[in-house]
Each structure stands twice: as structure tokens, then as C-alpha cells.
Amino acid sequence: MITLLYDGSFDGLFTAIFEVFEYKYSDVEIVAQENFQQETLFAGTHEVITQQEKSERVLKKLEKNIGKSGINQLMKVFLSEDSEMEKLILSAVQQSVKHPEENILQNFADDDMMKIAKIGKSVSRERHRMTAFVRFEKLQDEIYFAKIDPDFNVLPLIRKHFKDRYADQKWMIYDLRRHYGLFYDLENCEFFYPDEKLDLNQYQQKFHDEEKKYQTLWQSYFTKTNIKERKNTKLHIQHVPKRYWKYLTEKW
């Protein structure tokens, strides 16, 4: 078996897939360099240099066969960070080339295609929950700040939602688990990658006075309306799972 090592990026993965076909590799696996563990001195490896041109050629071919919605599904698999992510996407591309006349992602009799569908649904649910449960806090510099810790890397999937919904204010969303974020400055909405983890205590100290008053008022309201005799924890958790309570002011 030959192992193709890539840089972990989306374009890097599709460059690697291009080279699977270019070099006619049959027994092959694709692994991100940061996840690679050399198991044997005799295992063959091939280092992939990310090339956007190669990546785009694969994606253009895919778009003809499975459409933009199909590529979106594969993007969700990539963002899922599933341990079989590279294997599943490679399988989809290979089958798409072999059967260009059909949308292979609809072939649920195939184990790989079924896994892709399930992962896509899970990522979509996480995206929806992030758009529903994210809470912004106003900082002293008039920027609204939100922290998230999603199961999947959905920040790229919620970018348009927040850009459209909060187009009239500056905001930042930071992924605590993956240590990168989005910043919108009223014109551009760009990803940012700090050299070091953000000091969240520093941000707590920068809360705007209005935000502090709002949090106190909201917490007081929640306490008074949370009548013990009417409490239905099971139903509450069903609609707002506990792992998302950290984003809700009333749960602090």
C-alpha cells in the first residue's frame, strides 16, 4: 500500500485524489501529515504538494457527475473531521468516475455512500444548532463576540448566515476547539488564525457596560420564570441539549 501525505486542507485532499488517478495508484490511502504514524519502515509514502489547479480539475469533474449539492455533501464530510473522511471522499470520487451517468451519492446500498449521507445529516444538524444557540456579547470596542465549541468544524458553514443576519454590526465568532474564528468588520467577513490561543479572560474584562446589565437582567428573568412546579427537564433538554447551554446567557 502507498500512503499519500497531504497538508490537511480541502485543496490538499483533492490534489491527493488527483494524484491517485495521475499515478494510477490502486492500493492507496490518504492521510493528513499531522495524523500520520509510520508503522513500518517498508511502507511507501508519497508527499503531496497542494496545487489548486489539480484540486479544481477534480471538483469540476465531480460537479458534472454529482452536481454542486453533491460537492456540498462531500464538503460536510471533510468538515466532520471523521477518522474515515479521506477514505469516504476518495471512494465517492472513484465511484463517480466509474459511474458518471448516475449520482453515486444516492446509492445507499453502498456502505461508503450510506456513511456519507449519515455524516452529512449530523453536520447539518450541528450547523443548524450553531445558528440557533450562538450568543454574542458586546465588548467595549463595540464588537460583538461569541465563542463556540461544535462537535464538527461548522464555522465555514455558518459564515453566510451570520454575515447576512448581522450585516449592520461588527462581530467575531471564535471556535474554542479548533482555535480559529470569523471576523466581520461591516465590509469583509474573513477567517482569522491566532498564533496563540485567545485569552478568553481578557475578553471577559472587555465587556461593555450595557452587556453586563443585560446579562444580569436576563439571568434574573430566567430565575423568576423558571417555576419549579412547571419544570420539565426532559423536554427542555430535548429542545436545547445540555452541551449547548454554555452559549446561553440564562444558563450561566
The string of pLDDT tens digits covering residues 6-24 is 999 999 999 999 999 999 9
Alpha helices by DSSP H, listed for the chain, are: 10-22, 52-80, 85-98, 111-133, 155-165, 200-204, 209-225, 233-239
What is each CA distance from 244 to 68, 100, 134, 153, 247, in whole angstroms? 31, 41, 9, 15, 6
- φ and ψ of 81, to 5 deg: 60, 25
Listed residue (9, 2, 1, 90) closest to 46, CA to CA: 2
148 with 247: CB under 8 angstroms? yes
Residues contacting 220, CB < 8 A, separation 6+: none
pTM for this entry: 0.79
Tell me the angle at which helices 85-98 and 111-133 cross, rounded to the nearest 10 degrees. Answer: 120
Amino acid at 119: I
Instruction: State the pLDDT at residue 141.
Output: 78
Query: What does residue 5 show for φ and ψ, rounded to 5 degrees?
Result: -100, 125
Query: What per-residue confidence (pLDDT) applies to 202?
Result: 63
What tens digit of pLDDT does each residue of 24-67 get?
998 999 999 988 876 544 568 999 999 999 999 999 999 999 99
Among 88, 251, 243, smallest CA distance to 152 is for 243
What stretches in the chain show pLDDT beneath 50? 40-41, 214, 217-227, 229-241, 244-245, 247-252
Q: What is the pLDDT of residue 137?
A: 86
pLDDT of residue 205: 61
CA distances from 72 to 53, 116, 121, 173 (A): 19, 11, 12, 22
Query: Which amino acid, 211?
Result: E
State residue 208's pLDDT score: 55
**CA 132 to chain CA centroid, nearest Å:** 16
Residue 93 CB neighbours (<10 A): 23
Report residue 18 as a C-alpha cell: 488527483
CB neighbour list of residue 78: distance below 8 Å, 6 or more residues apart: 10, 13, 85, 89
CA 23 centroid distance within chain: 31
| pLDDT, position 245 | 45
